[in-house]
């Protein structure tokens, strides 16, 4: 089966610009997650969707980050405006519902100049 | 909330030797513990997981043990090969709460 697809793979922007990332989960996976992975650390959850509804966004910096999953399949994560500390890899993961294992995409590496 | 500590941060072993990575967790109600392998430029790949109703699980050269009383779990890799070189992450969660990751262990297998 095809894995989690993410694009772009790399993005370089200047601070205060905006950026968007796209994720297509594994077919049939109702649960979708966005993680931020700062260099040298483990992934940290930003937001979790169940179908097109938000389950947990307690760690999402809502003043600058937003995410949507309008049709319960693909998802986009946006940062506006970007700060230097947003430099990280943004990972998308998906799973079947009910606490099933999460499968990750290869992420988008974001560099802020 | 849950806190997961992982040791060591780096580990070097000779090819063919065993490698052990240890993690501790803070929330005694946590009941799911996956291990991920992350290669350079790739996303984390699930290699094995264990739930709190079992104490040990094995898959070929990889095994995980769980001690609920002490709140720690370990990853054991036997007969290590150069392709096992990567960063390994442990994680823990309970129910529908978020998965909390350790800070990772960089494993180097020296041929």
pLDDT tens for each residue of A8-61: 999 999 999 999 999 999 999 999 999 999 999 999 999 999 998 999 999 999
Which B residues in the span 11-70 are in contact with A, Cβ-Cβ below 8 Å? Answer: 32, 34, 36, 41-46, 49
* CA–CA distance, B101 with B23 (Å, rounded to integer): 10
SS3 content of chain B, % helix, strand, coil (to 5): 5, 55, 40
Contact A104 B95 (CB under 8 A): no
pLDDT tens for each residue of B7-46: 999 999 999 999 999 999 999 999 999 999 999 999 999 9
Contact A42 B91 (CB under 8 A): yes
Contact A42 B89 (CB under 8 A): yes
Contact A104 B89 (CB under 8 A): no
Higher pLDDT, A70 or A104: A104
What is Dmax (Cα atoms) for chain B?
A: 42
pLDDT tens for each residue of B61-71: 999 999 999 99
pLDDT tens for each residue of A85-97: 999 999 999 999 8
Report the gap between the CA of A16 and the closest CA in chain B (Å). Answer: 26
Of A101, A55, A98, the C-alpha closest to A75 is A55
């Amino acid at each position: 089966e095809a894995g989690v697809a993410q694009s772009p793979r790399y993005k370089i922007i200047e601070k205060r610009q905006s950026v968007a990332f796209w994720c297509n989960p594994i077919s049939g996976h109702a649960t979708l997650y966005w993680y931020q992975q700062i260099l040298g650390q483990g992934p940290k959850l930003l937001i979790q969707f169940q179908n097109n509804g938000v389950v947990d966004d307690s760690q999402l910096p809502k003043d600058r980050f937003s995410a949507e999953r309008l049709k319960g399949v693909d998802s986009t994560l946006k940062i506006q405006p970007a700060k230097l500390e947003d430099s990280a890899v943004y990972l998308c993961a998906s799973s079947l519902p009910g606490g099933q294992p999460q499968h990750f995409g290869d992420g988008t590496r974001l560099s802020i100049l | 909330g849950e806190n997961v500590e992982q040791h060591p941060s780096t580990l070097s072993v000779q090819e063919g030797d065993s490698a052990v990575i240890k993690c501790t967790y803070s929330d005694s109600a946590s009941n799911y513990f996956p291990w991920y392998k992350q290669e350079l430029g790739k996303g984390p790949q699930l290699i094995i997981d264990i739930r709190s109703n079992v104490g040990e699980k094995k898959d070929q050269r990889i095994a995980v043990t769980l001690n609920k009383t002490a709140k720690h779990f370990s990853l054991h890799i036997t007969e290590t090969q150069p392709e096992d070189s990567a960063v390994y992450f442990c994680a823990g969660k309970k129910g529908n709460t978020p998965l909390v990751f350790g800070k990772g262990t960089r494993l180097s297998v020296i041929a």
